Amino acid sequence: MKTSSDTPSSDAPFRVYTPASLGAALRHYRQQAGLSQAKLAERAGLNRTYLSALEQGRETEQVKRILRLLKHLGVRMTLEKADW
């Protein structure tokens, strides 16, 4: 399993357990898709600076709440490339 300290060179899934690990996963998959932050943000209807903050591992209120929910449920989030 990938963590934020692994190099993003393979298609192994990312375990998301911190804002930093979410940011590393987002950056990896965005770069793998050949998209700039501006292009991905536009496609997703987000501000580019918000996407940048996520990729830098900043703890936004939304990310904080999601991670807290996962922790209380005793589950973890794993991100991997979808085939759709």
Instruction: Say yes or no to pLDDT of 8 above 70.
Output: no
pLDDT at 10: 63
Instruction: Say yes or no to pLDDT of 3 above 70.
Output: no
Distance CA 20, CA 26 (A): 10
Domain map of the chain by residue range?
14-79
Superfamily of domain 14-79: lambda repressor-like DNA-binding domains (1.10.260.40)
Residue 44's Cβ-count burial label (10 Å; 0-12, 13-18, 19+) is exposed
pLDDT at 5: 45
User: How confident is the model over 62-82, as pLDDT tens digits?
Assistant: 999 999 999 999 999 999 988
| Prediction pTM value | 0.81
